[in-house]
Each structure stands twice: as C-alpha cells, then as structure tokens.
Amino acid sequence: MLHFKEFLPTQPPEGTAIRVFIDAGSNFAAVIHGAPGCENPKLASDICREALEQLGADLRDWPLAKILLHLQQKMAAFSTARLMAFVGIVRFHEDSYEVAVTGKVRLVEFSHNVLSAGKRSRILIDGASQPTVRSLPIPRDGIYILASDGLNPHRLAGTIDLREPPSSNRAWRNAAERATAVPDWAIVVFPFEQLSHYGSTTWPYDPFIGRQEESDHERRGLSEIASTLFRSKVFPGFRIVGGIAPNKAHSSYLADGVLIIPEGIVLLELKDHSGRIEIPLESDADMRVINNGGSGARHEPNPVSKLKRNTRLLSDWGKKYHLNPWQTKMAVVAFTNPACGVIGMSGSGKTKEIPLVSGEVMVTSTRQLPIILKQFIEELDSKCPAIRLKPEQIEVIANKLAKAEIENRDGDATRWSIGQYTFDSKPGQETGYYTRHPGKSDHGKSVWLKRYPLKALFRGDRAAALQSLGREARALQDLPADPRLERLLDSGELPGAFYTIIEAVDGPDLASWLSISPSRAERLAILRDLAELLAILAEEAVVHRSITPNKVLVRSGRPVLTGFEMARLDEVTTLMIDKDRLLDHQYLPAEEFTGGARGCATDTYSFGAIAIKTLSGELPFVNYQELAAHRARTGYWEKITQSMGLSQESTADIKRLMATDPTARPVGRDIVATVSKWS
C-alpha cells in the first residue's frame, strides 16, 4: 500500500533547504524545511534527513516527540553554527496516522466530511511553536496534506477539490504552485493510493477478482460492501467477482457483482439514488424514485423482481459447486447513497423500511448488508444446513467464475487477432499488471501483445484510467525513432483493457550477454549507448523507472531498451502496482519504493548500478537499503571503482551516479560526459 507520495517543484532552486524523507518499510514520512533565519538552512535540513535515515527500525518504535527531539539534538551537536529546521513527521500505525509538527509546517485535511460542512478543506495544524502531536483516523474518503513553509494552507484549499482531485504529477505540482509565491516547496499527500482506486488500507487482502463495474458509483458501492464485510468478520475469505453474466443463455443480464461467502453465492445489484425510493415487492411494477425537494418522481425497472427472475438461472451452480439449492439462490439490492429512504411496498399496500427480505432477495443499505445477510442465512440454515466453503474453496470458485466470463466474452479460441497480428490467447508472462502474449504479423514477424486490464476498483474517469495504462505507448510515441529503443507497432483499447503491440527483439538480455564474457571494449560500448539513450529520454522528459538488466536486450552488439510499461509521464494518472512483484530492487533507488519524487535522476541510479554490474561482474548490494548502510564506510566506493577497472579519479563519478539524493545525480548529457572518460 502506498501511503505517502511527495510532490516537489519540477526544478527546485539551487541550494533549496527543503527535504522530504519517506521510509516505506517503516510507513514513515517527513517534510523538513531548514529555517530561513538560521545560519545554514540547507545544512540543517540535510542533517535532519540523514538522522532519519540512520534511525532505521527506530522510526517504527520511537514516539514521534522523541524523534523530533533527536533531530534537534543532531543539529545542536553538529557544530557551533546555530541550526534550526521546521519539521513535520507522519507515521502509519495499525489503523491510524500519527503526526508531529514543530515550526512552520502545515497539516490540511480534505475529506467528504469537510465538503458536507460546506468547505473544501480543514486546517488541522497551522504551524507549531512547540512540538505538537496528533492522531488521525484513516479518512474513509479523503486525504491529508503535510506542507512546507511557504505553502499557504488557505490558498492550497482553494486549488484542490476532492470531488475532482489532481490525478497526475503535473496536476499536483500546478495545484501546489498556485498556493505559494516561493520557488521551493514540498508536500506529502496521504493516504495517496485511495485517490486512484476504492480499495482500503485496512483490508487484510484484496477480495475482488475479475473485471469490475464500469460505473464509478458501483465501484464505490462494491468497495463499501467489502469494507462492511471485513469489519463484520462474519464471512471469512469472501470474494467478489464483477461484471459477469451468471447464465450464458441469458448473457444480457450482467450482475453488478457476485459475492461468494462460506454459505454460498449471492447476486449483487447496486443502486445509487437519493430521496424516497418505493419498491413493489410482490409484482413487476416499476420502482419509484421521488427526488428530495419534491421535484417529481421517475420510474425505473424493479430490481427485486429482476433479481428473483435471475436467481432462477443459477440452478446449475449448486450442482457444479456441490452446494444446497438455496445456497445459490440469494440476492441483494444494495443502496449505496446514505441520502435515500427505501420503502418496500407489499401487495396489500403495507410498507416496510429497509433492511427487508422478499423471497430470496434482500434489500438493504451497504452498511447494513452483513446484518441482514447473516439473519437470512441463519433462518435457511436452520431448515437445511449449509455446506460451508473454506477460504481456499471460495477463491477457486471465484477464479472459475472470472475465467468463465472471459471465455464467454472473448470466446475460447486459442488465437486472438488484432489487425495484421495474431497472438496466443494463453499469456507467455503474467505480472499482475499486464499479460504478455507471443504473436506474429501476417508477414511472419515476431511480436508481443501486452494487455493491461483496468484495475478492479479504479476511481473516477475511465478514459483517464486507460490513459494511465497506455503510458508505454505514449512514451514510445514521444521518443524519436532509434534502433536502441523497442518499437511500438500498435496500441489501443480492448474490452476492459488497454493493449500495446511491441516488436520482439531478437537478442539476449544484458545478464545473459554478460555471461558469455564479452570484451571490455564491448561492455564499455554498451554503457556509452545506454548513456546516450538516457540523454534522449531526458530531452523528452520521459522517465523509464525500471532500467534493469532484463529490460536491456543486446542485438548485434548494441543495447535495445525495452519495458516502458511503468514510464513516468507528467500528464497521466499516477500508477499503482505491486512493486515487490514487478521491480528488481537491486537496480532501483529509494524514491521508486517510498513515494518519492521520480525524475530523470531515477534512471541515473539504475544506470549506475548497471555500470557497476557490467564492468565488475557483480553488484555488491542487494537493494538501496543495503547500499545506504555501507555507502559511508571508508574505502567502500574506492573498492567498487577498482573492481570496475576504472581509475580512482572516477570514484566521485560513481558516487554521484548512485547518490541517495536525486538532485545530486547527473542527468542527460552529463551522464554521457561521465561515461566518455571511462576506458
């Protein structure tokens, strides 16, 4: 889970005294601003950041007030210079955030609770002359922002609207820059991942399988159902499969979701209405929606009668999954908007408020779903005991339903065709972010199809979500044609997914190529080509983000950079992925894993690690944390330089390539100049 995300100016002014520190392992973040009135503000902020890096596991355990005191002591002990810094620190702990502030750091809340009070934001801490500590709940549908001095919290409130929050790096920077008159600033947004999808940091696992609903309110409603079920702890191991036709013969009916619990399978129908809702329970008559304010009523199809008809289509599910008949004949109409009053109407005219039951259909709010579902099951279970499913059985059924829906939609053909290209429907690689399928053009040329499915509960505009998934295509379209870059052949939209078609490069990856012991001249030539590629990327403001040996293929003695599926583009929505599964930690810097600001210097670090591996044959650290523990040791960098066969004058170059602070790393043509000196 990405709790913290930092945003900084595109080009911070030289000598800026603002630092951001994020430690993913400790779920800890800090905004540090060297006080303008002290003798050396930049030195003060650097000392504080270094002190936080050295604390390691203590970041999880020490009280926040003790950490602030520790930073003050480090500044006081450094020299006779009078040093001071404004510091805001935040830590995620169990189910809340702890925040501590000293000096001119602001904490602002943006949430729907604040919106309902007629405001856009609420200032929780507007600076503090003495250390101030607060505990904050995880916002159900909102964010907090920790901001450096110079960012006016009132103006910040006017630039961010939670109803349409910024979705890209550029949008966040623009919002912050409109709230300040100074060139250097920093903000940390948390919990950041909630802005891009409806999942919750409190969930013990992701219960959603398969493609979910197109409508934003339905995805929000499914998320609320998941949260209430997790809180109830009544249905362990539950899963929700979305967007499926329960019966192939009646595929025009798509359930909003299929809930699988230990006691069976439940069809879900979600409604997002306000005002008074009247539902006939014993006929097919329309549901009436009477808007608040008395502006008239409208009629909609009756969801209760619709579900009663469709539960009858599921008789084969009981046999297929060895369940009692009633265990596959359950359905729920869930109303997601709290500003509605739902009334059930009997044939005799009697009325009843929700939650209520009509035959096999329950009508409820999302909040009350676990209660009515538990009562419904207990009554049927007393007459015909349920066959209980174990969590692993639930997952198997959910995966089978999702797979059957894909086959129902795409057919069970072993080959797919897109234009002049044909692909195996069975993927050659599955990452959880995309699937890769081998294929051929009509002329027999080898190609790859990369299919990026929409995240189950993505938030907001579908077009923006697809644009985010299409970052590989955008990046390759922006870059000039070069034989050292993989070639994009086609891209576009598939049902519930984005796709790219990429040329299949004929050649080994860098690690395999190095295993055949190429000459030093050949290895240096590869590095010079890679440096040139990084300069091209920097000129086009494209950040690859995952330059590792398996992304560098060698064709006819020259590198080909591939795998732009995670490229950072300023104008597209921030990407949320399983970094532990997709990224090679050994070659990537801290900011890639901590929510830090990524830029061309992120690729510089990866290039430095590849250079060490290419010239020395090994990389003497397993990740950025291990490097951080060793980098200050006497002789450490000199030993690495020697192992690379470089002169000791190159030691400073290697240290700069691998610097902790991205602003200290060379970028663009500076990398080319550095490598040109190597022999």
The CA distances from residue 441 to 490, 503, 647, in Å, are 12, 10, 49
pLDDT, greater one: 182 or 581: 182
149-163, 483-497, 539-553, 563-577: lowest mean pLDDT where?
Answer: 563-577
Q: Which of 58-72, 260-274, 355-369, 558-572 has the weakest average pLDDT?
A: 558-572
Residue 467, pLDDT > 80, answer: no
Neighbours of 457 (CB within 10 A): 23
Label residue 201 by pLDDT band (50, 70, 90): low
Distance CA 619, CA 218 (A): 48
CATH class of the domain whose range is 5-195: alpha beta
Could you report the per-residue pLDDT of 262-303, keeping only the tens digit for each? Answer: 999 999 999 988 888 999 999 989 998 887 555 578 899 999
> Quick one: average pLDDT of 19-40?
88
Secondary structure (H, E, C), 594-609: HCCCCCHHHHHHHHHH
Other beta carbons within 10 Å of 164? 10
Architecture of domain 415-503: 2-Layer Sandwich (3.30)
User: What are the backbone dihedrals phi and psi of residue 65, each rounded to the nearest 5 degrees, phi first?
Assistant: -60, -35
For residues 68-76, average pLDDT? 94
Q: Residue 320: is its pLDDT beyond 80?
A: yes
Cα separation values, 40 from 18, 71, 122, 663, Å? 12, 15, 33, 19
**Domains in the chain: boundaries:** 5-195, 208-407, 415-503, 510-676
The whole-angstrom separation of Cα 668 and Cα 537 is 8
Q: Which long-range contacts link 354-360 to residues 24+ away (Cβ below 8 Å)?
A: 356/281, 358/281, 358/282, 358/304, 358/308, 359/308, 360/307, 360/308, 360/311, 360/326, 360/329, 360/330, 360/331
- DSSP H helices, 561-658, are 579-582, 591-594, 600-616, 624-630, 636-643, 651-657
Give the pTM: 0.71
For residue 205, the Cα-to-chain-centroid distance in whole angstroms is 15
Neighbours of 272 (CB within 10 A): 15
Q: Which two tokens stand for residue 282?
A: 């014993």
What is the C-alpha to C-alpha distance for residues 574 and 477, in angstroms, rounded to an integer? 19
DSSP code for 92: E
Pairing status of strand 435-441 against strand 429-430: antiparallel
132: closest CA among 191, 92, 90, 186? 90
On the question of a cis peptide bond just before residue 139, with omega within 30 degrees of 0, the verdict is no
Give the span between the Cα atoms of 175 and 153, in whole angstroms: 12
Return the pLDDT at 117: 54
What H or E segment, with its residue span, contains residue 335?
Answer: strand 330-335
Check residue 473 and give its pLDDT.
93
Contact by Cβ (8 Å): 651, 638: yes
Q: Tell me what pLDDT residue 181 has.
A: 85
Helix, strand or coil for residue 501? strand
Question: Tell me: the pLDDT tens digits for 580-624?
Answer: 556 778 999 988 876 667 889 999 999 999 999 999 999 999 998
pLDDT at 457 over 70: no
Question: What mean pLDDT comes out for the span 402-431?
Answer: 77
Whether 579 shows a pLDDT value over 60: the answer reads no
Average pLDDT over residues 389-410: 80
- The per-residue pLDDT of the chain, averaged, comes to 87
φ, ψ of residue 180 in degrees (nearest 5): -145, 155
> Could you report the per-residue pLDDT of 348-360, keeping only the tens digit for each?
889 999 999 999 9
Question: What is the CATH architecture assignment of 510-676?
Answer: Orthogonal Bundle (1.10)
- % the chain with pLDDT above 70: 90
CA pair distance 303, 281, nearest whole angstrom = 10
Closest CA to 144 of 113, 182, 179: 113
Q: Which of 234-238, 362-366, 381-385 has the lowest mean pLDDT?
A: 381-385
The answer for residues whose C-beta is within 8 angstroms of residue 344's C-beta and 6 or more apart is 279, 281, 304, 351, 352, 353, 354, 356, 358, 363
